[in-house]
């Protein structure tokens, strides 16, 4: 079969399956999730064997250690996958809930009813755990899902798809509810992105290159973030010990992720006391400091930041530091160079705290807390399927509710429009 007809057939089957899973009772959806979790654990050896095929090819192709690390399915990643599914089973089912119920003057009763989106396409790179995490969340929200992982994890993804399909079948649901695209050709992605009649949402997960490719080529709405250039602003009069802990945690607790701090903005009155101590902690941990000229005067070990440092997402043990005259300058810097992802102010001032959260235009704005809290689990959404930095539909971490929408339902007794 040609790639075209494979994709068309899968998409049509997903659309048909979406009507079934949309009306599936919560208990049955949870039963599938728990069955997948159980089967993954029982088939750990099989999954690891299939994963070894991917790893062999990856080694032949001399992929980077970081990529091979992400690709590897070990006992602990298998446990994380099944634990994740069990957590999703415990989440409230958003489907069918009613809100904003109002009675109109003519007696019509109007509500919004939460419903699944329909068919979701996930396009991702090497991590096979996304296959399970995304499938679990989409299922819980009553959606069918098409998963297109990286070519380098094809065998692992097929093994996982087989397990999911079997669990769906045994629970009496169409196995086309979750499908893994079995071709590694990029044409497959291009074709998926054109099926706007049958796919309701595309979520790309991976590097900026993949995400830009998806946005350029999709006729279907896309939820995505390109990058996270997150800032901490240390205000005048801030508790400097707290500021130090927050900046340290934001930068080094896990530097390779999108909600890690990349730029530290420091009020000029705080800088002389704050920066030397902070820099010592950073340098002890191996963090490279790239500073504005004022910063370099205070920190002789800092290198001078270049223009492109201010918009860089290092994802590494590097931090850029800028001294500012006041909060306005900090906010202007964030507006110019930020990515609408995550921003923190460390402050003791009530008014500036309120103004910062009101005026900063980022998906998560924090006062006196680490940027690393921009995460669906940490903010209380349960699991997350990603973070959106565009404002339509979802802005910030996306949980199971962001995989749904609402329709209006109206009960009347013969009302006519005048």
Residues that bind a copy of itself (CB under 8 A): 19, 22-23, 96, 102, 104, 108, 110, 113, 115, 117-118, 196, 200-201, 215-216, 219, 221, 223, 239, 242, 245-246, 249, 253-254, 335, 353, 357-359, 361-370, 372-374, 378-380, 390-393, 395-397, 405-417
Of 246, 249, 243, 245, residue with least CA distance to 271: 243
Minimal distance, residue 357 CB to a copy of itself, in Å:
4
Which 3 state secondary structure label does DSSP give 342? strand
In the bound complex, what is the minimum distance in angstroms from residue 35's beta carbon to a copy of itself? Answer: 25
Contact 324, 333 (CB under 8 A): yes
Q: Determine the Cα–Cα distance for residues 400 and 412; give it in Å rounded to an integer.
A: 31
CA distance 78 to 271: 46
Contact indicator for 202, 18 with CB cutoff of 8 Å: no
The residue behind tokens 């003057």 is 105
Rank residues 307 and 407 by Cβ distance to a copy of itself and give the closer one. 407
Which contiguous run of DSSP H or E holds residue 216?
A: helix 208-217
Distance in angstroms between the alpha carbons of the first and the last residue of the chain: 56
Q: Are 111 and 101 in contact (CB under 8 A)?
A: yes
What is the DSSP secondary structure assignment for residue 373, as one 8-state letter? G
What's the distance, CA 193 to chain centroid? 19
Nearer to a copy of itself, 39 or 250 (CB): 250
Decide whether 62 or 418 has the Cβ nearer to a copy of itself.
418
Nearer residue to a copy of itself within complex by CB, 8 or 57: 8
Beta carbon nearer to a copy of itself, 116 or 128: 116
How far is Cα 52 from Cα 358, in angstroms, rounded to an integer? 50
- Paired strand residues for 112: 99, 408
Burial class of residue 158 (count of CB atoms within 10 Å of its CB; 0-12, 13-18, 19+): middle
Report, in Å, the least distance between residue 166 CB and a copy of itself: 27
Report the nearest approach of a copy of itself to the CB of residue 417 (Å): 4
Instruction: Between 37 and 141, name the residue whose CB sits nearer to a copy of itself.
Output: 141
**Side-chain half-sphere CA neighbours of 190 within 13 A:** 5
Minimum distance, C-beta of residue 144 to a copy of itself, in the bound complex (Å): 13
214 close to 247: Cβ distance less than 8 angstroms: no
Residue (160 or 229) nearer to a copy of itself, CB? 229
Residue 274 vs 295, nearer CB to a copy of itself: 274
Shortest spacing between CB 259 and a copy of itself, in angstroms: 9
CB of 353 to a copy of itself, least distance (A): 8
Beta bridge partners of 288: 318
Query: Could you give the 3-state DSSP secondary structure of residue 210?
Result: helix
- Phi–psi pair at 98, nearest 5 degrees: -110, 145
Nearest approach in angstroms of CB 216 to a copy of itself is 7
Q: Which is nearer to a copy of itself, 179 or 363 (CB)?
A: 363
The distance of closest approach from Cβ of residue 281 to a copy of itself in the complex, given in angstroms and rounded to an integer, is: 13
Cβ atoms of 407 and 112 within 8 Å: the answer is: yes
Shortest Å distance, C-beta 412 to a copy of itself: 3
Of 56 and 196, the one with the shorter C-beta distance to a copy of itself is 196
């Amino acid at each position: 079969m040609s790639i075209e007809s494979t994709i068309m057939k899968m998409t049509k089957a997903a659309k048909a399956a979406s009507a079934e899973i949309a009306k599936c009772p919560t208990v049955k959806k949870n039963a599938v999730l728990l069955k997948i979790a159980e089967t993954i654990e029982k088939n750990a050896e099989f999954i690891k064997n299939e994963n070894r095929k991917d790893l062999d090819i990856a080694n032949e192709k001399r992929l980077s250690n970081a990529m091979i690390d992400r690709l590897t399915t070990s006992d602990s990643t298998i446990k994380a996958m099944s634990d994740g599914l069990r957590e999703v089973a415990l989440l409230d089912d958003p489907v069918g809930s009613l809100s904003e119920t109002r009675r109109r003057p003519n007696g019509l009763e109007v509500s919004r009813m939460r419903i699944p989106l329909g068919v979701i396409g996930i396009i991702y790179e090497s991590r096979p755990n996304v296959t399970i995490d995304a499938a679990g969340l989409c299922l819980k929200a009553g959606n069918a899902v098409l998963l297109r992982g990286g070519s380098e994890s094809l065998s692992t993804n097929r093994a996982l798809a087989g397990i999911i399909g079997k669990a769906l079948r045994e629970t009496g649901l169409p196995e086309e509810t979750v499908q893994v695209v079995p071709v590694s050709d990029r044409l497959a992605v291009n074709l998926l992105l054109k099926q706007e009649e049958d796919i309701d949402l595309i979520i790309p997960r991976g590097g900026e290159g993949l995400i830009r490719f998806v946005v350029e080529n999709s006729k279907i709405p896309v939820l995505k973030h390109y990058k996270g250039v997150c800032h901490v602003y240390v205000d005048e009069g801030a508790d400097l010990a707290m500021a130090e802990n927050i900046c340290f945690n934001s930068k080094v607790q896990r530097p390779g992720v999108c909600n890690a701090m990349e730029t530290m903005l420091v009020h000029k009155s705080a800088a002389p006391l704050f920066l030397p101590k902070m820099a010592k902690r950073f340098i002890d941990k191996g963090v490279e400091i790239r500073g504005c000229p004022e910063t370099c005067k205070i920190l002789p070990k800092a290198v001078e930041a270049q223009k492109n440092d201010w918009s860089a997402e290092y994802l590494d043990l590097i931090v850029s530091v800028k001294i500012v005259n006041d909060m306005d300058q900090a906010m202007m810097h964030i507006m110019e160079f930020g990515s609408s992802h995550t921003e923190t102010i460390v402050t003791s001032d009530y008014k500036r705290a309120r103004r910062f959260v009101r005026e900063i235009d980022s998906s998560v704005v924090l006062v006196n807390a680490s940027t690393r809290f921009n995460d669906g689990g940490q903010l209380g959404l349960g699991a997350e399927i990603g973070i959106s930095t565009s404002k339509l539909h979802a802005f910030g971490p996306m949980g199971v509710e962001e995989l749904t929408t609402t329709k209006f339902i109206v009960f009347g007794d013969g009302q006519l429009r005048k």
